[in-house]
Structure formats: structure tokens, C-alpha cells
Amino acid sequence: MTRSAKYLFPALFVALFCGADWLQFRGVNGASLSPDAAPPDSWSETNNVAWKASLPGRGASGPIVVQGRTYVTCSSGVKQDRLHVVCFDNESGDEVWQREFWATGRTLTHPYSAVAAPTPASDGQRIFAFYSSNDLACLDLDGNLLWYRGLAFDYPKAGNDIGMASSPVVVGETVVVQIENQGDSFAAGINTATGETRWRVDRARQANWVSPIALPGEREGRTAVLLQGASGLTAYDSMTGEELWRYDVSCSTTPSVAVSEDHIFIPANGLTVLKLAPDATVPSLVWDSSQLSPSPASPIIVGNRVYTMNNSGVLSCGDVATGERLWQLRVGGRYWSTPVVAGDRMYCINSEGAAKVVQLGDKGEVVSSNEFSEEIKGSPAISEGALYVRSDRHLWKIANGS
Amino acid sequence: MKQSTMFAAIAASLFAVSFTQPCVAEPVDVDVLAAKLRSVGPKGEGHAAAAQAWQAIAKADADQLPEILAGMQGAGKLSENWFRAAAEAVAQRQLKQGGELPVRALEGFLADTSQAPRARRLAYELIAGVDTSAEARLIPGLLNDPSLELRRDAVALALKNAAAEEEAGEKSAAAETYAKAFAAARELDQIKEASSKLRTFEQQADVPSHMGFVIDWHLIGPFDNTDNKGFDVAYPPEKQIDLAAAYEGKVGKASWKPHRTRDEFGIVDLNEIFERPKDGNDYKLTTEHKGAVGYALSEYETDQPREIEIRIGCINANKIWLNGELLTANQVYHAGMEVDQYVAHGRLRAGTNQVLVKVCQNEQEESWAQRWQFQLRICDELGTAVLAKNRTLSATPAN
């Protein structure tokens, strides 16, 4: 099989079927955005809840959606050393399959977090389930095990007893994991097909919970992944791990970087915005603003507006071009999950399980508040007009007309 | 054809080309395939062969489940997950197709304690998944099982039964059942629950001895850990143990002091033990020590050499030596402290053994970064205490 033919099937697959999919933490391109979707504004136990399914364990990870099925990771057991991947049918809410593993790395976490903290990722053909224990399982969409890496088994000092939370990202044929901690601190690019390590780079020995993100498109024939560390943002070639450029700035270690067109939004000095160079050189500063500081939720960009939620539940809207703060809205609550935007509505689900729907525009307005009545830490997913939300115990599908 | 239907048809075709789906059961040579799953090693070693073997073994007939589980004998932690996923795939396919699992053979496998503990646990879970009476029938007999997970379920059931006896006013029976649960318990939450209940019946529960916490120590310090550099400095206690010696420390002469912790879980709080720095010293006067290194020594006597685990909970950077051999080094500060946080493996020699612990505090100012403490226990791989012959307190009989 030629190289081009070898890659044709997966590429065709993704192109055909992934339009409605939510393949990773914060969805397509990590944008937390589904521009054409319109989930319901309000719901209750008897209205607009398509189904509610039980989960076998806890999790701060978000659900992902691939080809009409939703995939969720959980951790269970008194030591949280049982790792689960559960697949649900989106129409019925029935469990299609479940796989379970024993953690091979550290499973201590803060009681508020869970070993199933990183959101899984998919390339449209495979599920990459990653955990705080640094176990990385690759399954096909029917639950067949394709490979299994114990990255803390390989590097025993990798771990953080507060819990790790960085979600993997798929860039082409590489799944990238960012494992930054006080012990064996590194990032690695793993071959999606074989599970072999393409590259591994040392990272600062410091706790960090942010997630890597793919830089859309190619520059000089290369695809890149962005890794946000405490002292800067670095772009690496996703196939080789070669450092392409580095921008030094003191970054937050909880909210993650976002990319929109040729701008990069870094949670640093509040919010720092860079403009990408046309080649693979260091981007340039556009603006920074202490008035648009996100924490711990990551920034969201919709057109010429950037939205950030702070840890007091205040939503800020800024101008992408200037960094001017245009308005603020006290949504209320504390947010671990990053909100999602569908059309002109933002769905903000706070830790206590209250889902506030915010109308976005010249100002923000909370148009409804809906209760899940359970703690919610994972970021929701949107697919085909439905909202998927998980707690430690349940997975909900919120859809119109249910 | 609707667009979505057409896409689904293409998807099915592409999958058929791209993947081998283990959807049809057939007898397979489990021994050969299991060897490939067992060959999985660190850093992707043996992955390609294992992936191929997994596709084949997942096609096995459900009657071969005990064979698959038996393949876990000698498997490492990584390999166990390949076996687990294969057994689950075989079982789930069988049940979806309306078939039955070989429950009787799986029960025979569960009863064979020479099999790998996790394989036996998985056998139980497969049985329990199709037989609601499994817990009541099988778990009570597993109170002292070599599988920690099966034992845990048995202890949980014993605690539940004891609570029911207590509720029914059968105090003597309840106390006896709690005592059995305590003796069998190996995990912290169950040990806490059982010991707490026993005490309500005015019965003793020697938790430190039950868990193997070292409570008698010789301590020396503080030495300097400014800028975290002391972690790599071999201060005199690392070179020679001389309990009569005194050395220049961070705040004057440092000498060994005996210390017995009264904490039920063996916590030694170095902030409470080492003399506070004097005002006027360039070492800043604070409420807690900062940038400091402390050492703790335990002399452990035993008649027989044996393998042990030394498990430490420590919120500071730490190292452990056994008879001069470095067993573990963890340069992590203030990322939580839990019982059994770090596990080191070592071998005791007959006679006197020296367990030396180095605990390094950094200079963080935050209120949550002021603890300078550790807890250490010596046990086997199941968590059963391995007590020193020269331990001064009474020991709880351990299984």
C-alpha cells in the first residue's frame, strides 16, 4: 500500500463522518464551539432530557462523541485504580460496551478530582483513553484493544498526587500527551496506529494541568502541537517532537491555550494574544489584558469575541482585535468545566451542577438555569444539536423534543 | 439511499477493510497467544506482537475463558490489562449472542489460589455479572484471600454482617465479627472502620502494629536544604550511622534523638521535634522549619531474611535506604500525603537492619506548604505487617 493510500482511508473517514463529532477536550480544534447547533435552552427531568445513563465510576473528564456514540472514561474503586471506558448509543442511551483496566501508575488525587480526569480523544477511528495514572489505552470504536501504554510504568516518577488532568490531543497520526509534574516530566507523541513512541521531550519539573492543542493546518509542510508550560508556550513538530518555536511568558497552569484562525490565546498575564507568523517562526504579541483572565476554564473565541470565565463565575467578553473588555456578566458558581458555545448561546455548567444558558451579544444575559443536582467537573460535548454532560454518576443527553 | 445510510454503508466497508473484528468465536491456541500478551514490556516493547495476538485471542470460544485467565500467571501489570480486555471481549460477545459463560469452570478457577490474584478477581467478576447469588455464595470464604480485591469484598461483607448483628443487639457476635474483619482488613478505610467499631465494644485494636508502622525512631537534623539543594547532599548520616555523634547542622549542633510517635498511623512531625531556629540567626525565625533536611533511623531486628515493602507517606521530598542501599528517592514537595504513597522494595537480612529516611522541607511560604512529616510502614506486598523482633509494643496477629 502506498503512503498516500495508507492514509486515505482514515482521512476519508474523518472527512465523511466527523462533522458532527466532538473528538476531544473542547471539541473540534479545542474551540469549545458548535456554531450551527441549537441544544435546548431549558430542560428538566421530564423535558428535553433524551436519556440519562448510569456510569460505573467517577470522572472529571468530559464525554466525546464519535459516529453516533458517546465515549466516557471513569475511575472506580477505593484506590481509583479501576479505569473504565464506556460506550453509549446516542439514540437509545444504551451501553454498547465497556472496557476496564487496572491502573499501572499513581492513582492518588485530590478528593475533588479523579483518576479519570483527562478527556479522551479520538481520530474518528480509535479512542485514546488517558488517565491521571498516565495509562493510555487505545481501542477501536467497538472496544477492541489496539494497544495499551503505561507511561508511568515506563517512567515511574511521572505523576502528581493532587492528580493529573491534561487531556491528550490527536494531531494527524500522533496522539500527544503532556505529563508535567515534579518527577519524570515530559511530553510524548505516540503513533496512533501502533502505540509506539514517536518522540519524547523533557518538560519543566513542575505541576501543570493544561492540555496540548493542535495548531490547525501546516506551516512549511509541518503540523505542530502547542504545549503551554509555566514559563512559556512551545510549538513542537507533531511527528518528530522538534521544537519549532517558543514564546516566553509566565503562563497559568490550569486553563489551556486556545487557537482561532491565526491567533493564539494564552492564559498568561491575564490573557495574552499572539499572531502566528506565516512561516514556522515565533508569533508576535498582539495584546495582553489582565481584565480577561480565565481560571480554571479555558478561553473561548467566537468570531471577533473572546470569552473567559473566572473562578468567581464572572464571564467576560473581549474584543479579539484590541483586547478591550466589552462586558461582564456574573453567571454565578465555580467552574471547573469549560463552557461550550452553540450558535449564540453559551452553556456554562458550574461545579454544583447548575447549567446556566447565556445569550451572547452586545451584552450577556442568563436566559435559563437548569439543575443537574450533581457535581459536574467535566466539560460538556455537543453533537448533532444535543448536549452531553457527565457527572461522577451519570451521563445525560439533552436534546430538543425529548 | 439517504445520505446518512450511504455514509454508514461506506463506514462499514472501510472498517471491514481496516480492522479485524473479533466477532465470531472459534477455538484458539491460548497458550501461544498468551505468551505474546505476557511479553508486553515498558516503552512499547512487544506491542506489535501483542496487538496481533489480542485480535486472535479475543475470538476465543467462551469456554476458553479459564484458559485465558490462566495465561495471566506471571504477567506484569501492563500485560494484565491486555488479558483483561480480551476476557471481557469474549464474555461480552458471548452474552450478547445469547450464550452462557462457563460459570462452573470459572468458579473452579476462582477457588484455585495458585492462580494470579487479578485473574481470580476477574473470574469472580465474570461470575457475578451473570449470577446474582455469587456474592453471598463465594465472598464469605475469601476473608483471607491472597487477592487484595477479593479480600476487600469479604471484609466489606463481614463489616456489613457485624453491623447487622449489632443492630439486632447481638453484641458478642458483632464484636467477634468486627474482630475478624479487622484482622483480615488490609486497606486503610476498612482498617479504620473495623478498629473504630472494635473500640466501641471496648476491645483493643492496635492499628500501628496491624499495619506495621514504625513508631520508634532516632532522629537528627535539621541540615540545610536552601534552594532544595540538600536533597542531593550526602550529610553525615548518609555516610555513617553513629548514634553518639553530633554534627554541624543548619541551626547549630545536630545530634541523634530517640523519638516514639504516638500517632495511630505512625506520623512523625519533624516541625514538632527539631529545635526551632534562634532569632538573629541568618536562618529566618519562622513558625515552621524551612529549607531543612531531617533524618530518621530505625533499627529493625529479624531472625530470617525476607523480601519486604517499605511504604512511606510523605508530603516532602524523601529518600529511603535499607542497610545503606538506596531504595527510593522522591523529589516531590507538597503534592499530598497519604498512607502508602510511595512503595519501595527491599530485602531484610537476618540480624539488625537499618532503615534510614531522609525528609527534605523546601522554603515555600504558603500555609499549605508548612508540613514536614512522614509515616512509614514495613509490610509484605499484600500490606500485611512485617513486624520487627525488637518492636516494643504488642502486635496484632497478622495473617
Chain A residues touching residue B337 (CB < 8 angstroms): 161
Amino acid (1-letter code) at residue B45: E
CB-CB under 8 Å, A197 with B44? yes
Find how far residue A108's CA is from the centre of its chain: 22
CB-CB under 8 Å, A153 with B47? no
pLDDT at A181: 96
Chain segment A19-29, per-residue pLDDT in tens: 489 999 999 99
Q: Is the pLDDT of residue B6 over 50?
A: no
Chain segment B280-328, per-residue pLDDT in tens: 555 444 468 899 999 999 999 999 999 999 999 999 999 999 999 999 9
Section A36-41 average pLDDT: 94
Section B196-211 average pLDDT: 95
Quickly state the pLDDT bin for A1 (edges 50, 70, 90): very low
The set of residues, in sequence order, having a beta carbon less than 8 Å from that of B84 and lying 6+ positions away, is A100, A101, A102, B118, B122
pLDDT at A11: 42
Section A133-137 average pLDDT: 98
Q: Which residue has the cell 529493625?
A: B300
Chain A residues touching residue B44 (CB < 8 angstroms): 147, 149, 194-197
A143: nearest CA partner in chain B: B89
What cell numbers appear for A312 in the block? 468567581
Encode A322-339: b = buried (16+ Cβ within 10 Å), e = exposed. ebebeebbebbbebbbbb
pLDDT at A220: 83
Quickly state the pLDDT bin for A142 (edges 50, 70, 90): very high
Section B370-378 average pLDDT: 97
pLDDT at B4: 40
Q: In Å, how far is B381's CA from the nearest CA of chain A? A: 15
Q: Is the pLDDT of residue B126 over 50?
A: yes
Chain segment B25-71, per-residue pLDDT in tens: 778 899 999 999 999 988 888 999 999 999 999 999 999 999 999 99
Q: HEC string of chain B?
A: CCHHHHHHHHHHHHHHHHCCCCCCCECCCHHHHHHHHHCCCHHHCCHHHHHHHHHHHCCECHHHHHHHHHCCCCCCHHHHHHHHHHHHHHHHHHHHCCCCCCHHHHHHHHHCCCCCHHHHHHHHHHHHHHCCCHHHHHHHHHCCCCCHHHHHHHHHHHHHHHHHHHHCCCHHHHHHHHHHHHHHCCCHHHHHHHHHHHHHCCCCCCHHHHHCECCEEEEEEEEECHHHHHHHCCCHHHHCCCCCCEEEECCEEEECEEEECCCCCCCEEHHHHCCCCCCCCCCCCCCCCCCEEEEEEEEEEECCCEEEEEEEEECCEEEEEECCEEEEEECCCCCCCCCCCEEEEEEECCEEEEEEEEEEECCCCCHHHCCCEEEEEEECCCCCECCCCCCCCCCCCCC
pLDDT at B45: 87
pLDDT at B393: 65
pLDDT at A158: 94
B41: nearest CA partner in chain A: A154
Quickly state the pLDDT bin for B268 (edges 50, 70, 90): very high
Chain segment A205-264, per-residue pLDDT in tens: 999 999 999 999 888 889 999 999 999 999 999 999 999 999 999 999 999 999 999 999
pLDDT at A83: 98
pLDDT at A7: 41
Chain segment B63-105, per-residue pLDDT in tens: 999 999 999 999 999 999 999 999 999 999 999 999 999 999 9
ipTM: 0.89
pLDDT at B396: 43
- Closest by alpha carbon to A178, among A221, A249, A121? A121
A110: nearest CA partner in chain B: B336
pLDDT at A217: 87
Chain B residues touching residue A198 (CB < 8 angstroms): none
Do the Cβ atoms of B182 and B207 come closer than 8 Å? no
pLDDT at B287: 61
pLDDT at A221: 86
Do the Cβ atoms of B65 and B102 come closer than 8 Å? yes
Q: Which of A13, A102, A141 sits opposite B77 (nearest CB)?
A: A102
Chain B residues touching residue A5 (CB < 8 angstroms): none
CB-CB under 8 Å, B189 with A78? yes
Q: Is the pLDDT of residue B131 over 60?
A: yes
CB-CB under 8 Å, B84 with A101? yes
Q: Is the pLDDT of residue A10 over 90?
A: no
pLDDT at A196: 92
Chain B residues touching residue A144 (CB < 8 angstroms): 19, 21-22, 54-55, 58, 89
Backbone angles phi, psi at A319, to 5 degrees: -85, 120
Q: Is the pLDDT of residue A84 over 90?
A: yes
Section A146-155 average pLDDT: 94
Note the pTM of the prediction, 2 decimals. Answer: 0.91
Backbone angles phi, psi at A322, to 5 degrees: -115, -20
Do the Cβ atoms of A56 and A84 come closer than 8 Å? yes
Q: Is B282 exposed, middle or buried (0-12, 13-18, 19+ CB in 10 A)?
A: exposed
Quickly state the pLDDT bin for B277 (edges 50, 70, 90): low
A11: nearest CA partner in chain B: B14
Chain A residues touching residue B21 (CB < 8 angstroms): 142, 144
DSSP state of A31: -
pLDDT at A355: 97
Quickly state the pLDDT bin for B399 (edges 50, 70, 90): very low
Q: Is the pLDDT of residue B134 over 90?
A: yes
Chain segment A44-73, per-residue pLDDT in tens: 989 999 999 999 999 999 999 999 999 999
B17: nearest CA partner in chain A: A9
Chain A residues touching residue B84 (CB < 8 angstroms): 100-102
Q: In Å, how far is A351's CA from the nearest CA of chain B? A: 22
CB-CB under 8 Å, B89 with A143? yes
SS3 A91: coil
CB-CB under 8 Å, A140 with B88? no
Interface contact A1, partner B, CB < 8 A: no
Sort residue A202 into left (φ over 0), alpha (ψ -120 to 50) or beta: beta
pLDDT at B82: 97
What cell numbers appear for B33 in the block? 497467544
Q: Which of A13, A97, A195 sits opposite B47 (nearest CB)?
A: A195
CB-CB under 8 Å, B333 with A148? no
